[in-house]
Structure 1
Amino acid sequence: MKERFIESLLHKKAKWLDKKSSGSMTTILNQNMNLIYQGIGDKLGALIRALTIYGIGMAFSFLYEWRLAVVMVFTGPIIYFCMIIMNKKIASYIKKEQNVVGIAGCIAGESIMGVRTVQAFNGQEEMVHKYTEKLEIGKLYAISRVWSSSLIGAFILIFISAYFGGGVFFGGYLVKWGYINDFGDVYIVVFTMMFGAHNLSAISPQIGALTEARVSTAAVDKKKNVLSGDQIILNVVGKVVFENVHFRYKTRKNINVLNGLNLTVEPGKCVALVGHSGCGKTTTLGLLTRLYEQNEGEIMIDGRDVRELNVEWLRNIVGIVQQEPVLFNDTIHNNLLIGNPAATRIDMIQVAKMANAHDFILETPNGYDTVIGDGGVQLSGGQKQRIAIARALIRDPKILLLDEATSALDAESESIVQSALNNAAKGRTTIMIAHRLSTIRQADKIVFFEGGVVVESGTHDGLVTAGGRYARMVEAQHFRDTDEMIRERDDDVEVLSEDMRTKNCHDFHQSQSRKSSFGKSYESLPSVDQKMSHLCLGNSFSLSNDGLNNQDSVEEDLVDKNDHDSYGYMDILKSAKDYYWHLSIGVVFAVIKGSEHAMSSILMGSIFEAFLKPNGEEMISDLLFVFECYVGIGLYVALSLFISSCLFAYVAENLSLKLRVQSFNSILCQDASFFDNPVHAPGKLITRLATDAPNIKPVMNFTMLQVIYSTSSLIISLIIAFVCCWQIASIATIMLFLFFILVYWMAGKLAKENAEHIKRDEAGKIAIEIIENIKPIQLLTSANRFLAHYKNAQSEERRSEMKKSFIYALHSAVSTTFMCFTLFICYFVAIHILHCGLVDASDAFRAINAVMMGSLAIMYSGHCFPEFVKAKTAAGQLFKLINHHPKTGNQMKGQTPDIEGNVSFERVKFSYPKIPMHPIMTDLHFSALKGQTVALVGPSGTGKTTCISMLERFYDVTGGSVRIDGRDIRRLSLHHLRKQIALVGQEPRLFAGTIAENVPNDRVLKALDDANCSLFLESLPAGIETEVGEKGSQLSGGQKQRIAIARALVRNPKILLLDEATSALDSESERVVQEALDRARRGRTCITIAHRLSSIQNADLIVYIDQGKVQEAGTHTELISLKGKYYKLFEKQNLKMD
């Protein structure tokens, strides 16, 4: 069923996927499927067994005495009617509960997948609050469901008990009137019917599980959407035509994205699409690849409407590199193989060289066989983009689509890759989207989009000469005149205070003497003393081993592997300490309820004695008393059941919520190295959060009650048996001891299997990755590949499940037949001791009845065994998460000084915990003084983004220190530190909700205006209340980035971190946003990373980082004068016409 669900998702249309969140689909896969499994597993078997027992009992009753059976037969229909009412009632609660829990799952999934964004903005508390809010609503529905089912269950118990007593009483009259000669027939009929009725009354957990399974199944959409079209073009030329195309998204039907687009791309030509963010450029590519279908007009390839073409064939002839490249948690080799399954290693090396990726691939630990982590987390943005380009090129596509394919590359790599792309474009139709206009100068035609239509088209030179919109965009990307910048820089130098000038010069001269490689670069800079006084490469600093150093990650992993073994039922009980009063009262009433069977065994002896009396009136009088006793037992047992069930349900739901929230909170507070560990892959964490907390409920809900009922019933029954006949009781005790030894062995085997399954859980990890990336998988025509991968993982899981199923079946068989074997031996012993005259017949009868009732209790609790084993395993996983301490320590502990904003990296060394032998930084040192803007530039993958990660303390340095205002940031409160910092990441992460919810603050409108969001917000019907969709899917890349900038500005931070903050913006938007950022930088320290050098030319200091060190540093003007590495980047990006 899981496989069919995943298969259906891989074939869903984009418009369906736009309406669903990956969190809701993950909830269905984990929680719903788990409920379905429980409903059709041992619960279904128990239900069938109960119905069979009732049916056979009814048949035997009619065989022995039909008159009495006719009266007793109504128990079944009445119980069935009550079950129908209960079923309908709880079904409505289950559906409501699953809906809100599904929303909670979406919140958790989004937060874990975007955990760095959550942490950077101290958003843990807010996300946990949202998560808790939804779970609280779900908890109320769950408790209401239990109350309803308990009330109906209590009524059934009263009815069964009263009917049982009434049946005995009526049987007495039949004996008295002579219709029945042997009172044993009354005993057989009544007991057989009521044994069946008791089995029916005990199936409420099974009915609840089946109802949950039915409701869960309804939420699972297993239908595949098959796109129309079955034609192919034998000889593709590559002419693409858009003719009067209109399009609007289903989620925003009142906004037209394309308004009559007309565009022709001739075969083998390269056409570049430019325009402001959100004008429909990416949408155009989505229509061509049939992710979406236009509302009006035609899109044709070689004269054939794309809607008539086989969609898989169409996507196979297209190579696409998307704006946010998607890589998978596999080796580089296998990621490239997705592009072309028939490719050889030689082919891969060739395209990797074309994409300028081969060299850095060889530097990874295992070269092409290096696993790159979830979403390529082990790689930089530029490295990911280069692998995505190589993956597209290895397909040798007829049509090449490039959506900001080089936006995350440094200028050097961009130049090389762009040259390769230009070569790759020869002989094939190419459509490219770019905001960095240096990448499209050589395009055969440049098309300017606005309002969903083409407003300008032509070559680069022609459009610049025309002086229209494109020309203004080009002008916006020109570098300013160097002389003008020198004059401004001289003015800025005069503003610096004498103290700051002295400090910076002192630090610079120290660093110059320390690093000869730097000295060579700096010697040629003009007027160093006057014009580089802002430069700061701080003193070397080595922190002693005073406890700040992290423990070895390998050691921690070894601890983690064994942690779950140390947690068990007592830990669950300790977690419920706030509810001990509820539990105590619940246990008292559960024990009272458990005495039901023992009391029944005593009354059985009374029935036996009553029928032996020769006087009919005395017999009827005694049986009337028995009837009254059964009514009394029914009332107190029903009351006990209702009270204990409600109390335990209240505790179970609250405890489950508490552990879920604590686990979620713990996950959000972990450092980055925690998520680098494959054991803690986001997909696995989401699965654990969705399944482990519900699996703990049995220890506190009706399952635990059943155990208490059974245990108390067993103990009381054994006491009665020992009082009546110690010989029979002793034999029963020995049988019980052997039974519990077998159960203990089976529990150990199951716990081991469960732990192994959780450790592997490969299928769950693959499923999450598929759900998160359905559209890219569809575009790569890799649905069948990923489905096969998932099925293989599932087959491994099935083998494990088969082992567990055998143990479950063995336990079920033993617990069900235990009563039969025990009674057989007890009857054999009873006959022997009666023959010897060692015991009275009525005492032996009472003892055997007591043993039988105790055995029944064991049989009724048999279904609890697998759930308790799951609960222990789940507890181990949850408590391991909850008690896992991040290497960054408690985020609230530490110093909380006023922050001014002086930042320094002092002799920093760093390597990722999982690859300690591959250093990212070897000796990095530079400073940013309060109010300064420092720009980090250099090749992709050289540690620029890592600098920001260390400043945010996603990771801690392995050597040296990062300091703010002279204080090692490891000594500061992490919460306080991040409160002073705002981050705009390379791939902005927005969360499902409105724009206003993503930028929460009273100053939201001003921040949105500062980030140049006003114009596109005016085009949205709901304005700032517009839903952005999961991961901001309803917005364009540029719109998302502007919202992310607004989210940073609204915090009014002391330190602003910009990692390619304007990379997804068009030139005009970039200019406006850059002006806003320039305003925002005033009075605060800003560290920015940019490959588009026009955005950092005004920086106070530009630091060129390569090979983990600072290679050059200075202002834009000074570095241009140096004519070093920075100058080469500048030359490659300068767009000014000759």
Structure 2
Amino acid sequence: MGIEKIKMTSLKKLKSEERKEHEKEKNSNIEFVSFFGLFRYGTKIDLLFMLIGTIGAVSNGVILPYMMLVFSNIIDGFTDYGKVCNITLLTNTSFSDSDVNPLTSRLKNQIFYLIILGIATMILSYFQVAFWLMPAQKQARAIRKALFSSILKQDIGWFDVYKSGELTNRLTDDIDKIKDAFGDKFGNAIQNLATFVGGIVIGFVKGWKLTLVILSLSPLILASAIMFTKIAQVLTSNELKSYAKAGAVAEEVFSAIRTVFAFNGAQKEHKRYEEKLDEAKKYGIKKATINGLLMGFIWIVINGAYALGFWYGWTLSLNNDPVTGLPEYSIGKILLVFFSIIIAIFSLGNAGPYIGTSATGRGAAFEVFKIIDRKPTIDTSSEEGNKPVDVTGNIEFNNVNFNYPSRPDINILNGLDLRIKHGSTVALVGSSGCGKSTCIQLIQRFYDPLNGSVKLDGNDLRSLNVKWLRSQIGVVNQEPILFSTTIKENIRFGQDDVTDEQIIEAAKNANAHEFIMSLPEKYDTKVGDRGGQLSGGQKQRIAIARALVRNPKVLLLDEATSALDNESESIVQAALDKARLGRTTIIVAHRLSTILNADLIFAFESGKVKEFGTHADLMSQKGLYYKLVVTQQAGMKSLASLDKINPIIEEKSKLNVEKQNSMFGISGENLTKRLRSKGFKTMLKQDIAWFDNQENSVGILCTKLAVEAAAVQGAAGIRIGALLMNLGNLGIGLVLALVYGWAIALTILAFVPFMIVGGVLQTKMLTGFSGKDKEVLQDAGKISIEAISNIRTVAILNKEYHFWNLYSKKLDVPYKAAIRSSNISAFMLGFTSSITFYAMAAAFALGAYLVENNLFGMTFENIMLVFSCIIFGAQSVGQASSLMPDYAKAKTAVNSMFELFERPTKVNNYESTNGITIEDKDFKTDISIESVEFCYPSRPDAKILKGLDLKVKKGQRVAFVGSSGCGKSTVTQLLERFYDPDNGTIKLNDINLNDFNLHWLRSKFGIVSQEPILFDMSIHENIAYGDNSRQVTREEVIEAAKKANIHDFISNLPLGYETNVGSKGTQLSGGQKQRVAIARALVRDPKILLLDEATSALDTESEKIVQDALDRAQQGRTCIVIAHRLSTIRDSDVIYVLQNGIVTEMGSHEELMKFGGFYAKLNKKS
């Protein structure tokens, strides 16, 4: 059974498998790493730093309870002074002038202690924050490196399950959440817990009865916190998975942005992205609601404890000790115990939000560490395995059975036996999906066979070192992948130690040297994201040069010349023929002309070799191979075909406390969702030239969406609530202080400017560091997405370490900046926190002076009220200051996002409300291109079209041919209005293209490209994607599928048209993807068809039927064909020959052959 049939069968158990996987994920939701498991990447130095940070946090935490002892002494000072003056405590009686000195003397030491506590707070706050932030930054960097390293070394079967967008989201958002769980926020939690313990200890020491009564309700707080933690872990896991799915959608859309725009799919994709965000928001809101209920309940309990404490304290003050006859508890003692416990409980409440942060971090860590800990079945990083000194190139398949790990119940190869002698050239042929490509993947050891063995020179591939094995193999695929660097470096990827001269020689052998030298920057030209700055043919030649430069022992050619024009093909084919000498070469081809001279041809059917022999032998047998040849010859005059030629630059290149916490948490989730959604929507509005810019690569855009929205959420939601609550406490406290002791309040306010200046400086400096971090992390994200999205190419080139090293270096830059920002944040936080103590010292000194001198009617009662406000205000300032780093990051993120939101665009690809539309009955498809000049915005010095003139009449079938880079595909992009001409005009229906409604214009075109892009959705949805202006019916989808010769295949699938095609259509073979793409173009019933080598990926069995379908589809439509196979365009009404951006010949096939020019020469070569 061939792959095509196998994939039909393999989907029979899809629903049950998906259900099992769902249950597995559902059960794994409750899993999370232990708290100490978060620190698995901490070194001894990190642990030492964290120990110092813990000591700083604990010491800093006990300062506030200790301050209560100082406060108690001050109260006693006032009380004793009152007794000396024979007054009743808490009356308005004035003090005598004769007793000022004793009171001043008594309070002097206590005020000095407050100043000492302020200095201690500044120092200890620095150690607390800096020595938790620095190891957190270091460990986050280590986790990112470990995760990326683990991802890169996973076997290919694992990538069949995981989507690249999900993995990159793990590298960004998830690790940020882990860092939050053990960074400065954890230091704050330790500080608050230390304050809690210190307060409790003082309470028990000074008044254990009252303390026990106040704490009698604390078990309720503990129980509710434990329950919330368990629930939060489950919700967090689901939330992160949903965000990962949203990231996968964004990555898929940005990678296929031209397809999205061509089919007016921006709004559809935005809706799909929002659905994933809504899913994440749902879990986030549940978590916020539960968090709000928890905090509300905690504060109800706390307030209940206050009431209970006041009542019991009042009772104790009325009870006299039977021995001394004095009150069992004095007022000073009650206030000391009460305020100590209040501070303790208040601190416990402040530590509460960390429960959610910890749960989120531990849930994220479970998913991340699960990937890090996974042991791949084929480990590319392992040094194990043999590395033979001599390689001759004998390859054997011995009774090989194989199925893909994602479809374990279906066999792809069924007892395959195959012998390939060293130095020979063999070809694998057969219908689309018969198992040929599977053999190529097994030779590269992307997978291992279930049974049997694949051997190289008698050695089972499983016994060989993986990296060594792949270094012996050169591969050229039909859809070549280039990386976002220079042409020189892309060729050097084939072999690290080659010289520039060897690179040039390889380029010459691949017939790439001439076009490279014509570029302004020559070999140093950047090829763009996925090679988007080059045409398909140019990318293919670079890929061939990359394979040749490593001088491989085994050469695997999968339609290696498919993207070359005829003029280049003969030269490159000759180079490949020369390169094959002395090495084993395996060719997978649909075009039988490329394998006529193969030493052996193996014809595949149902996962086995049906027959083999030379071309002549197999033709004489009149078996499977003979039928393939006859079928192909029936559709063309020659076996050869003219390859696809594209332009030099074809740009292809993301309240009460309960309500307070719930509502702010919900608002934070809504804000995050809106920011991600609006960011994605705004990106989809941009013109193609914006996506061509290297600063807007797929990796950078995806990282921007994930990181910046998360940064804003980090300073919003419940943190807004915490900030406002603290500011509210401070504000009300100041108002009360002004009413009851304005002189003292003004003294305190005199210190506020110092706090403001400290906060502003901290925010400003941290914002600068955050901005630099963002840019570098986006670059790192770009590297990770590029490597993960093209993992097969990375693997065969053994470039895992190369990309890991690039990624690591990018992470080192923000790490160094983060260390600096950690120290600055720590110092400024300590500075602002210490000012509170200085303010309190000044306030107490002034208060004593005012009372002693009976100034402004100041009484002890007023002083107690003002000082109570000061105590709570001090804690509020400290809590508000600790949020500054989050707000610095948020400010940077907001500025970046608003810069995106406000960016003007030349065209709005998301929605089009302006412009001309024409009724179908009045619409003529006459196209006129007049004196058009054009160069791509990213290559303004390389002109592609140089005064192009041509006309296409309604109903005509027009073909474009020409050398690579002549401008053919550029014309189709201009017709789709991906770009506008620099000079000249393009008219449709005698109306300038720019005057039409953009979406209406694109709806009139149906496009089928050589490299079809499908989306991770069902076959029905992919075909219906052809017309996003309405709800396409199942009947219309089926009709389009029938025309594209794909209906029978789909009908035999277990899920039929509801079968998911996988990310980028990976669940389908190349031919199947192409036919779905053809159906997608036909379902919109386009007035103009753009066929860019539309049948190039089809096997000979399917090609003639599909070509017939296309011929039928072209009837009554204007059709523009870009083709390499001259047999497919010989019946065109007009053939335009393009060279150097202008038309050099035009006419029918017969006229051009008679003319004897460039077209005639191409025909002779074919």
**Same fold, judged at TM 0.5 (above):** yes
TM-superposed deviation, 1:655: 3.2
Q: Determine if the alignment matches structure 1 residue 222 to structure 2 residue 372.
A: yes
Which range moves more in the overlay, 471-480 or 819-828? Answer: 471-480
Q: Determine if the alignment matches structure 1 residue 125 to structure 2 residue 280.
A: no
Paired with 1:1011 and 1:705, the residues of 2 have a C-alpha distance of 58
Secondary structure, aligned partner of 2:534: coil
The corresponding residue for 1:834 is 851
The corresponding residue for 2:881 is 862
Letter of the 1:894 partner, please give it.
G
TM-superposed deviation, 1:321: 1.3
Secondary structure, aligned partner of 2:455: strand
Percent identity between matched residues is 38
Deviations 1:98-145 (A, max 9, x none): 222322222122111111111111111111111222222322222222
The corresponding residue for 1:959 is 983
- What is the aligned-residue RMSD (CA, Å)? 2.2
Where do residues 755-774 of structure 1 align in structure 2 (5 Å cutoff)? 755-760=771-776, 761-774=778-791
Residues 1094 and 258 of structure 1: is their aligned pair in 2 closer, same or farther, counting only changes over 3 Å?
Answer: farther
Letter of the 2:867 partner, please give it.
I
Identify which of 523, 526, 529 aligns with 1:368. Answer: 523
TM-superposed deviation, 1:989: 0.8
Where do residues 977-1016 of structure 1 align in structure 2 (5 Å cutoff)? 977-1000=1001-1024, 1001-1002=1032-1033, 1003-1016=1036-1049
Secondary structure, aligned partner of 1:686: helix
Paired with 1:183 and 1:791, the residues of 2 have a C-alpha distance of 62
8 Å contact from structure 1 (residues 985, 1058) kept in 2: yes
Secondary structure, aligned partner of 2:928: strand
Paired with 1:749 and 1:480, the residues of 2 have a C-alpha distance of 70
The corresponding residue for 2:60 is none
Secondary structure, aligned partner of 1:1057: strand
Residues 227 and 250 of structure 1: is their aligned pair in 2 closer, same or farther, counting only changes over 3 Å?
Answer: closer
Q: Determine if the alignment matches structure 1 residue 922 to structure 2 residue 946.
A: yes
TM-superposed deviation, 1:1122: 2.5
Paired with 1:297 and 1:440, the residues of 2 have a C-alpha distance of 28
Q: Determine if the alignment matches structure 1 residue 398 to structure 2 residue 553.
A: yes
Q: Which runs of 5+ in 1 are unaligned?
A: 484-552, 554-559, 561-588, 590-639, 1134-1138
Identify which of 737, 756, 764 aligns with 1:740. Answer: 756
Paired with 2:633 and 2:952, the residues of 1 have a C-alpha distance of 27
Where do residues 585-664 of structure 1 align in structure 2 (5 Å cutoff)? 589=655, 640-664=656-680
The corresponding residue for 1:901 is 925
8 Å contact from structure 1 (residues 97, 138) kept in 2: yes
The corresponding residue for 1:878 is 897
Identify which of 1105, 1126, 1147 aligns with 1:1072. Answer: 1105
Identify which of 191, 203, 228 aligns with 1:61. Answer: 203
Letter of the 2:1085 partner, please give it.
N
Secondary structure, aligned partner of 2:562: coil
8 Å contact from structure 2 (residues 163, 1063) kept in 1: yes
Q: Determine if the alignment matches structure 1 residue 720 to structure 2 residue 736.
A: yes
Residues 1054 and 282 of structure 1: is their aligned pair in 2 closer, same or farther, counting only changes over 3 Å?
Answer: same
The corresponding residue for 1:668 is 684
Which range moves more in the overlay, 431-440 or 15-24? Answer: 431-440
Deviations 1:857-914 (A, max 9, x none): 2222233322222222222222222332322246332111233322222211110112
Letter of the 1:702 partner, please give it.
I
Letter of the 2:914 partner, please give it.
K
Secondary structure, aligned partner of 1:442: coil
Identify which of 562, 571, 579 aligns with 1:424. Answer: 579
Deviations 1:821-877 (A, max 9, x none): 322232233233333332212212211221222222222223332222222222222
8 Å contact from structure 2 (residues 424, 583) kept in 1: yes
TM-superposed deviation, 1:254: 4.1
Paired with 2:1053 and 2:906, the residues of 1 have a C-alpha distance of 44
8 Å contact from structure 1 (residues 11, 226) kept in 2: no
TM-superposed deviation, 1:1129: 2.1
Paired with 1:989 and 1:1030, the residues of 2 have a C-alpha distance of 10
Paired with 2:1101 and 2:927, the residues of 1 have a C-alpha distance of 32
The corresponding residue for 1:451 is 606
Residues 858 and 75 of structure 1: is their aligned pair in 2 closer, same or farther, counting only changes over 3 Å?
Answer: farther
The corresponding residue for 1:710 is 726
Deviations 1:66-123 (A, max 9, x none): 3433444555544222211111222222222222232222212211111111111111
Deviations 1:211-240 (A, max 9, x none): 111111111111242527612222111000
8 Å contact from structure 1 (residues 674, 886) kept in 2: no
TM-superposed deviation, 1:182: 4.2
Please report the TM-score for the alignment, with normalisation by the length of structure 1: 0.83
Which range moves more in the overlay, 283-292 or 29-38? Answer: 29-38
8 Å contact from structure 1 (residues 981, 1055) kept in 2: yes
Which range moves more in the overlay, 43-52 or 116-125? Answer: 43-52
The corresponding residue for 1:572 is none
TM-superposed deviation, 1:750: 2.1
Identify which of 969, 986, 997 aligns with 1:945. Answer: 969
Paired with 1:816 and 1:210, the residues of 2 have a C-alpha distance of 25
8 Å contact from structure 1 (residues 340, 395) kept in 2: yes
Paired with 1:1129 and 1:846, the residues of 2 have a C-alpha distance of 97
Where do residues 176-215 of structure 1 align in structure 2 (5 Å cutoff)? 176-178=319-321, 180=328, 182-215=330-363
Letter of the 1:415 partner, please give it.
S
Secondary structure, aligned partner of 1:707: helix
Where do residues 84-483 of structure 1 align in structure 2 (5 Å cutoff)? 84-175=226-317, 176-178=319-321, 180=328, 182-220=330-368, 221-223=371-373, 224-225=375-376, 227=378, 230-478=385-633
The corresponding residue for 2:829 is 812
The corresponding residue for 2:816 is 799
The corresponding residue for 1:31 is 173
Which range moves more in the overlay, 55-64 or 319-328? Answer: 55-64
Where do residues 475-514 of structure 1 align in structure 2 (5 Å cutoff)? 475-478=630-633
Paired with 2:311 and 2:751, the residues of 1 have a C-alpha distance of 35
Letter of the 2:224 partner, please give it.
C
Letter of the 2:896 partner, please give it.
Q
Paired with 2:825 and 2:586, the residues of 1 have a C-alpha distance of 59
Residues 1115 and 177 of structure 1: is their aligned pair in 2 closer, same or farther, counting only changes over 3 Å?
Answer: farther
Letter of the 2:152 partner, please give it.
L
Secondary structure, aligned partner of 1:12: coil
Residues 1078 and 1047 of structure 1: is their aligned pair in 2 closer, same or farther, counting only changes over 3 Å?
Answer: same
TM-superposed deviation, 1:744: 1.1
Residues 465 and 958 of structure 1: is their aligned pair in 2 closer, same or farther, counting only changes over 3 Å?
Answer: farther
The corresponding residue for 1:14 is 156
The corresponding residue for 2:1063 is 1030
Residues 210 and 812 of structure 1: is their aligned pair in 2 closer, same or farther, counting only changes over 3 Å?
Answer: farther
Letter of the 1:940 partner, please give it.
S
8 Å contact from structure 2 (residues 297, 658) kept in 1: no
TM-superposed deviation, 1:643: 2.5
Secondary structure, aligned partner of 2:750: helix
TM-superposed deviation, 1:699: 5.8
Q: Determine if the alignment matches structure 1 residue 790 to structure 2 residue 807.
A: yes
Letter of the 2:462 partner, please give it.
R
8 Å contact from structure 1 (residues 729, 851) kept in 2: no
TM-superposed deviation, 1:466: 3.5
Residues 381 and 478 of structure 1: is their aligned pair in 2 closer, same or farther, counting only changes over 3 Å?
Answer: same
Paired with 2:439 and 2:621, the residues of 1 have a C-alpha distance of 26
TM-superposed deviation, 1:444: 1.4
Letter of the 1:701 partner, please give it.
G
Letter of the 1:225 partner, please give it.
P
